[in-house]
Each structure stands twice: as structure tokens, then as C-alpha cells.
Amino acid sequence: MNKIAVIGAGTMGNGIAHVFAQNGYRVNLIDISQESLNKGIATISKNLDRLLAKEKITETVKENTLGNITTFTQLEIGVKEADLVVEAATEDLEVKLNIFRELDTICDANTILATNTSSISITQIAAVTKRPEKVIGMHFMNPVPIMKLVEIIRGYNTSDSVTEQIMALSKALGKTPTEVNDYPGFVANRILMPMLNEAIETLYNGVAGVEEIDTVMKLGMAHPMGPLQLADFIGLDVCLSILNVMYDGFKNPKYAPCPLLVNMVTAGKLGVKTGEGFYDYSESKKAEKVSKQFV
């Protein structure tokens, strides 16, 4: 597999494109918005600059990486000759089903179709195609260029051959692929999301404040980031979506999202991406932190 198409230029999509391109693959990055594509390329360039400053890559590697990426706003043109398509669109079932229906009609019969979904059934996505044996989950972790894990999820009909190819490809990217079966939340989010939800419940019940809860988990359990800060980083809307998928899939009340999380998402307080979640990420807050450094 030499030609890779990545659908979605957001946080996960541009990170996936970055990793493939840096490892010498030709990447077509696809999004419906040219503005989103421009932002995605800018993010990749900024992340490469960070690696360059740390002397982890050379200027040549940066130039070659950016040179390996071509952007498209038309899906049909972008995926036409791809050996592998990785879908990294929004975590919405209908959006993904529509994308895979279209991919199935325009991609070559040998093209493998992968999804970066963090919770939605691979089997359900594969069922809308005529190639369910060639549909698989590649759940990269954020930030993609740094995190080593790729959760490889087999749908009910995913073939052994496709699984082996994707495992080998992930290793070629310098990642550690881990094969899991297709159940709501897979492994990563089935364990992580109830913990984040419980931290939100702890706040909701008035047991402790935001910083206190995060401090307990960082210092007491050696987590690099507190659960509420992590939820902000992931996106509270994404957390809610994943919890709803697990709640619907298992019909178990332990996966029911906390009312506080529901209210915050409804109010548009989604974490880092909107400037406010459990913490304040607004420009005024950043300026305040900077000014305190000089006091």
C-alpha cells in the first residue's frame, strides 16, 4: 500500500495524514472545505516545526512530508487510486454510513476501507458496503504523531488478510497496533469513558472541585493529565457521543452520561475547541497566566 487517502482534515485526520506522509506514503487529504484543508496543513506544518526544533527531524524530512500530501475537496477524485482509505470524519453514525456507501461505489474493488471511529460498530459500517471483509477500524490516539497505540478493530466479517495488512502497516508507521473485537467503545473507550464520566459525576455531586479531582488522579494515580482536563482535550461532545454509543449498545445504566456533561455540551462548552469546558482556555485567561509569570 503506497497511496493513502484520509477523509477529514480535523484534529485526527491531519494527524493521520502527517504520520503517513512522514513515513514516505503519498497521502490525499480530503475535506469538503478548503478552509479546513488549509488549517489542517498549517497544523501539520506547525507540528513538524516542533519536531524540527527538538532535532527529531531534519528540514528535508519536513519538506518531504509536506510534499507527500495533496489536498482535495472532491471525494471521488481524492480516493480514486487509493490503496487504503482512512475515514476520520465526525463521530456521527449517519455521516460515516453515508461516506462508506459512497466509497464503496467509487473505490477500486481491492481498496481497503478503514475508519478512525472511537466507538461506532465496524460491523454496522461495513454492512452498508459490498466489501465487508475489507472494512476495518484503525483507531489512532490523539495527538497522532506522538501516541504509539493504534487500536485495530475487526468487524464481524473483516478478513484475516486485511487485518494482517493493517497490523503490518501500523508497525511500518512506528506504531504499536493492538487487535480488539467489535463491541461498543472497543477497549480504549470502554475503560476510559466510564472513568471520565465518573469524574464528572464526582464534580456534579459536589464531592470536590475540578482542580481537586484532577490533582487526586494525577498525584495519587500517576495519570499525566487529570480526567476533567482530558475530557476537555478530547472534546466534551465527543465524550458524550461515545458514552451514548455504549449506553445504546449495552443498555447498561453505568454508561449513561452524567447530566452535567449533557448540559455543558448543550450549552456549547465543549472544552479546548470552544475555549471553555471544565477549564477556561480563552485568550483572556491565557493572557492572565502570562502576566502572572512576570509578577
With 80 as the cut, is the pLDDT of residue 263 above it?
yes
pLDDT digits (tens, 9 = 90+) for 223-249: 999 999 999 999 999 999 999 999 999
Q: Which domains does the chain have, with CATH numbers?
A: 3-181 (3.40.50.720), 189-288 (1.10.1040.10)
Return the active site residues. Answer: 118, 139, 151, 189
The response to whether 138 counts as a known ligand-binding position is: no
Which pLDDT score, from 0 to 100, does residue 294 have? 34
Which pLDDT score, from 0 to 100, does residue 1 have? 87
Please give the average per-residue pLDDT across 156-182, as a whole number. 98
Give the integer Cα–Cα distance in Å for 153 and 138. Answer: 7
pLDDT bucket at 292, cuts 50 / 70 / 90: very low
Strand runs labelled E in 45-175: 69-72, 84-87, 112-115, 135-140, 149-154
With 80 as the cut, is the pLDDT of residue 164 above it?
yes
With 90 as the cut, is the pLDDT of residue 99 above it?
yes
With 60 as the cut, is the pLDDT of residue 46 above it?
yes
Give the integer Cα–Cα distance in Å for 8 and 90. Answer: 8
Is pTM beyond 0.75? Reply is: yes
DSSP secondary structure code for residue 279 in this structure: S
- Helix/strand/coil percent split, the chain, to 5: 55, 15, 30
Question: Which grid cell sits at 33?
Answer: 472545505
Which pLDDT score, from 0 to 100, does residue 285 have? 65
Which pLDDT score, from 0 to 100, does residue 283 have? 73
The response to whether 8 counts as a known ligand-binding position is: yes
Please give the average per-residue pLDDT across 290-295, as a whole number. 39
The response to whether 185 counts as a known ligand-binding position is: no
Please give the average per-residue pLDDT across 68-82, as a whole number. 97
With 60 as the cut, is the pLDDT of residue 286 above it?
no
Three-state secondary structure call for residue 134: helix
The response to whether 62 counts as a known ligand-binding position is: no
Strand runs labelled E in the chain: 3-7, 26-30, 69-72, 84-87, 112-115, 135-140, 149-154, 176-181
The response to whether 10 counts as a known ligand-binding position is: yes
Which pLDDT score, from 0 to 100, does residue 290 have? 38
Which pLDDT score, from 0 to 100, does residue 83 have? 98
pLDDT digits (tens, 9 = 90+) for 192-234: 999 999 999 999 999 999 999 999 999 999 999 999 999 999 9
Please give the average per-residue pLDDT across 177-187, as a whole number. 96
Name residue, grid cell 475530557.
Answer: 231
pLDDT: which is higher, 224 or 292 = 224
With 80 as the cut, is the pLDDT of residue 131 above it?
yes
